[in-house]
Amino acid sequence: MTRQPGPRRTHAATESDGDRQPDAESTGAAGEHEVVRSRTAHRASLAVLVTTQLYVMLSGTVVNITLPVMGADLHLSPADLSRVVSAYILAVAALLLPAGRAADRFGRRRLLLIGLAVSAIASCLVAAAGDGVSLIAARVLQGAGIALVQSSLLALFLLRAPAGDRAKPLGLWSMATLTGGGAGILFSGLLTEVVGWRGVFFASAAFAALLAPLCAVTAPSDQGTRGTMSRRDLPTFVVLASGLTLLAVGTAEAGHMGVSRPGALVPIGAGLAGLLLLITLERRRANPLIPLRIIAGPRVGAAQLGVAVLGMTATGFFFFLSLYQQQVLGDSPGVAALWQIPLAVASGVGSVYAVRLGRRFGSGTALAFGQVSLAVGLVWMGRLKGENGFGDEALLPSLLVGAGLGVALVHMVNAATAGADRQDAGLASGLTSTVKKCGGVFGLTLLSSLAVSESQRADLTMSRVQALQEGYAAAFTTLGTLVAATALLIPLAPLLGRIMPRRSRPRTTGDDNAPSRT
């Protein structure tokens, strides 16, 4: 009984082989159509995700050109304008790690769509803002939405990349990242002249609203089961966000009132205490959210400090460059945007050729080359008098800044994540991005205070335009000095490691519990 079904099924199969030959051909033709359809869907999905990355970069840069017009319309001081930028960056920095963990838990496509919705609503609120307080609050909400998008987007993008062949998709990703900043500058500059700064943010909201349904249809779905959120993650998130916020507030107050005032000392002290508490909590966990081992060692620590300085440079330079163009040189938003396109191109070219320079001369030499170019360009910008047009006096130093920033950032980030194992590579990258954004927040606050104080000091003997030029020149020079100082960090890091106490060496080899506590 049990043997008969087997031969019958085999016999039927052999008889049907010849009979089904035409059907196999038709099935093959249908299969070819399916392959073509699958490739088309794959390319459409990649195109939508790349466009979404372009939107992320655009959202971070559209405000730069619109700042002077926005400040004049809402009667904002230079310090208020710096808060508009810092609030956005701080929101992204504080929420990037929590958003990444939430994306692992609840699904990346779901978090991406929520982030686009939040960003679109926040852009409308920015456009409708009537004063500085509502504007800054809307920028915080916009930064929260972008953090949700950014934490999910790269993972979804890699899910669409074919296994073992990610070079071409990642090339498209890099292209979107590099061109997004320049597109945001050009987009905001030209649109500000046509419909005003509010129209820029309404258009950004429409862009996000258009992307959301396209992402819902084309983005790969994931079950969100790769990670779980521990109960001990929530205190870590709260302490991290609170510590960064308090430090930002304290730094801003220190720039306005001085470090010795209680209004600055209290939030700075509370913020530092919060970050120390965060380190203590993470060291006690067997599976910490932020494993401190990924930033252990003097070389990696020095590179993280260098990343913070480069984040400060990127944020501060583009902030003051736009003000310099429009308030000192008298350029319109559209003209200012056009002059910044060569700078964006130089930055992109520097990023692309950074790897080639590293292969030919070594990563350390390429990093030093980028830092020297960046420092020279910034100091050169600090010596400008603002008496001629941008093309005559500022184009060449801005190209040096762009190319140097592109090269230096690639190799500094590489050095900052060098201490991470393969399993910690994603977390190290996220932590480095947070450090970069925090450097931009705190640096911009201090630089804005420096520029204001220099301008006020020069007001007694100079015109308003000349006073503003003195303030912006001081900011550029300070950035150049900091970059030149950090150029010594990586070469001196091994020497500092030898000078440091050697107690850690016996501890890592003799104490079995030491690795789990780091």
- Helix orientation angle between 21-74 and 132-160, rounded to the nearest 10 degrees: 160
Buried b vs exposed e over 229-261: b needs ≥16 C-beta within 10 Å? eeeebeebbebbbbbbbbbbbbbbbbbeeeeee
Output the DSSP codes for 421-460: -GGGHHHHHHHHHHHHHHHHHHHHHHHHHHHHHHHHHHTT
pLDDT band of residue 26 (cuts 50, 70, 90) is: very low
Choice between 101 and 88, residue whose per-residue pLDDT is larger? 88
Cβ pair 54, 179 in contact under 8 A: yes
Please count the other Cβ atoms lying within 10 Å of the Cβ belonging to residue 133.
Answer: 11
pLDDT at 306: 87
pLDDT at residue 227 is higher than 60 = no
89/83 Cα distance (integer angstroms): 10
**Burial label, 301 (beta-carbon count in 10 A; 0-12, 13-18, 19+):** middle
443 or 482, which is more confident?
Answer: 482
Task: Indicate whether 500 pLDDT > 70.
Answer: no
Give the least confident one: 253-257, 317-321, 474-478: 253-257
Lowest-pLDDT choice from 106-110, 145-149, 256-260: 256-260
Q: Residue 107, SS3?
A: coil
Most confident region among 15-19, 166-170, 461-465 by mean pLDDT = 461-465
Q: What is the rounded average pLDDT of the residues 485-504?
A: 63
CA–CA dist 416, 306 (Å, integer): 8
Contact 269, 243 (CB under 8 A): no
Q: Give Cβ neighbours of residue 210 (< 8 Å, ≥ 6 apart).
A: none
Instruction: Dig out the tokens for 72 from the structure.
Output: 């004049």
Structure tokens at 316: 């501060």
The first and second tokens of residue 136, run together, are 């800054």
Identify whether the C-beta of residue 218 lies closer than 8 Å to the C-beta of residue 93: no
For 58, what's the count of Cα atoms within 13 Å in the CB-facing half-sphere? 22
| Amino acid letter, 286 | A
Residue 281, Cβ neighbours under 10 Å: how many? 17
Overall average pLDDT of the 417-438 stretch? 66
DSSP reduced 3-state for 147: helix
Q: Look at residue 380 and tell me whether its pLDDT is greater than 90.
A: yes
Band (pLDDT 50/70/90 cuts) for residue 505 is very low
Task: Summarize pLDDT for 48-70 with one digit per residue, the tens.
Answer: 888 888 898 888 888 878 888 89
Please state, as a whole number, how many other Cβ atoms lie within 10 Å of the Cβ of residue 195. Answer: 12
Write the DSSP string, 282-308: HHT-SS-SS-GGGG-SHHHHHHHHHHH
Mean pLDDT along residues 484-509: 60
